[in-house]
A and B are shown apart, each in its own frame.
Chain A
């Protein structure tokens, strides 16, 4: 056996597994074992090129090469045609993985190790630069850690884009012996999966980021609030925490530094609103996930009434490279006040759907066509929803907008968590608007009337518009209802459901006639 072909990679990621990766890995392992072939099957994470999953990689002297997609129906052929011995003429051969344009055109910073390493192998993590940030943070003062994060320009990746450094500073300055780091891993936005990918493919990055946050604001306890819909991420996170604790990267007296920090995972229970930070705190405290009025801000009175940092998975996982390489290394990426990179997620009816981490400043067109290759169905792209279920539907004339928080807010849209859902011309936008209201009705926490009652009324109004009843009057009522929800709701659930509804009405008015 030639040595350079000693490792073969089959992703263990929800997406890859939903396409048969587990079965493929089992088959290959069985074949290698029964034929005494010394190849190790490594379960890496996903590279995020989902149309190629399951993407099998083989380690060679020139770097990793890929075959894909190799589903259950292709694995026999993969074996028969000796692909594992590097048959370069096989139709599924893709060449060097890093040279695949979808990947080579990206700047992966937060996702630098995703898909490359074995997510649960701490040595692999360390040999790819893992824990450099943490080791450095252990030498820094809390204020230096917080200042570095502030100077990097990092803003929250969960949706609201609030400067992370300012949040941390507030918690650092708060008095009190007990403070918490809470990671928001509820990832409720449809069309998004970057948190899931990161937790499944590089969980130590999140653990490291949370630990640095703990050192930065002088907290010793962290919670990860994970949605129930992510069973694989749950399994991997629990294992990763155990491994990190055994290696003393978390727990008591981390790496003999005298500092301690530990993390616990808590599962949500199927409620979109629990992604809203105060609702999440209620849920973590074991209560109904009802939104709390602000103030007080969670930074002052958060979990169990204590000062708490609440950050999204991607925000926290972006911290280790910022500390390791310095704030400038991150800040130099980006555009205007949107600094660094954002892992965009191409979803829905898109031919090459997957994760694209690039600096802010490109356009939607670059993503939809440059990376995404247009629709999967081959029909014309009609509408694109950006930023989850509370994000606007954008027509073609806005696809040239720069991917930048401010530019999007100027057109009544938001980047949010970076989800981008494509729809072809078979979509009926009045049906989409109706769903937005329906989703709000189902997921409203019920605390305020404009959201709780408004969403019920919204569904009725759009239903009657779709039946062609009193078109003009009903459309006016719908706009008024949107005003009421926007002005009178306690949180963005009721306050932003009007975004997709209004945008559908404004840009795709033909669908409401």
Chain B
């Protein structure tokens, strides 16, 4: 499905970045910030505007863990899998998170509220294990704390008040 809003936006930001050297990563960042992912439909638009091949644009998108080609869930939950967090139980937390959400890394919960992702260090290694939810980082996350935090993110049916 062609989304003209997305391609209009893309053309506009590329137009604004005419003076920026090596702009591709910046362009992808702006697109993902706006729409949550970089739609494959935009690859030809970007390629044409920058006068590079589609393969090149696709190659860049696929190289970086951060760029997504499909719409994300409402929230991104990242669990740090790196050494300092391992030393304080991140492996157990990771297993718990997958089991309690019923998904593996890079998957989305059935209600569309959460994408679970691994991350390799959040720079919060003095307070492990750490997780990141969208742009906020949490320290010393136990299974209980994980449940509390994640519960807040769930899409809840509106309560009927009588």
Residues of A at under 8 Å CB distance from B?
14-15, 17-19, 50-51, 53, 187-193, 195-196, 228-233, 266-272, 283-290, 304, 345-350, 353-355, 376, 385, 389, 419, 421-424, 427, 432, 435, 439, 442-443
Contact between A389 and B64, CB atoms less than 8 A apart = no
A270 to B68, CA, bound (A): 11
| Other 11 A-B pairs with CB < 8 A, given A190-B82, A269-B25 | A14-B122, A50-B126, A189-B121, A191-B82, A232-B135, A269-B66, A272-B120, A285-B21, A287-B22, A353-B125, A353-B127
Q: Tell me, yes or no, whether B103 is within 8 Å of chain A by CB.
A: no
Shortest CB distance B121–A (Å): 4
Contact between B84 and A347, CB atoms less than 8 A apart = yes
Contact between A191 and B63, CB atoms less than 8 A apart = no
Chain B residues with CB under 8 Å of A17's CB are 136-137
Shortest CB distance A144–B (Å): 31
The residue on B at minimum CB distance from A274 is B64
Contact with A along B127-162 (1 / 0, CB 8 A): 110101001111110000000000000000000000
Interface residues contributed by chain B, number (CB under 8 Å) = 41
Residues of B at under 8 Å CB distance from A?
21-29, 59-60, 63-67, 82-88, 119-128, 130, 132, 135-140
Most buried by B among A229, A350, A354, A423: A229
Q: Count contacts between A and B, CB distance < 8 Å.
A: 154
Contact between A53 and B127, CB atoms less than 8 A apart = yes
Q: Could you list 21 examples of A-B contacts with CB < 8 Å? A: A14-B123, A188-B120, A191-B84, A192-B121, A196-B123, A232-B135, A267-B25, A269-B29, A283-B25, A284-B22, A284-B25, A286-B23, A286-B26, A286-B27, A304-B22, A347-B87, A376-B88, A385-B83, A421-B84, A422-B87, A435-B83
Contact between B124 and A18, CB atoms less than 8 A apart = yes
Contact between B24 and A287, CB atoms less than 8 A apart = yes
A174 to B118, CA, bound (A): 42
Contact between A190 and B28, CB atoms less than 8 A apart = no
A224 to B70, CA, bound (A): 29
Contact between B124 and A14, CB atoms less than 8 A apart = yes
The residue on B at minimum CB distance from A53 is B127
Contact between A266 and B26, CB atoms less than 8 A apart = yes
Chain B residues with CB under 8 Å of A347's CB are 84, 87, 125-126, 128
Contact between B139 and A18, CB atoms less than 8 A apart = yes
Chain B residues with CB under 8 Å of A355's CB are 126
Given contacts A348-B87, A421-B84, contact A439 B120 (CB under 8 A): yes
B25 contact from A266, A376, A439, A442, Cβ within 8 A: A266
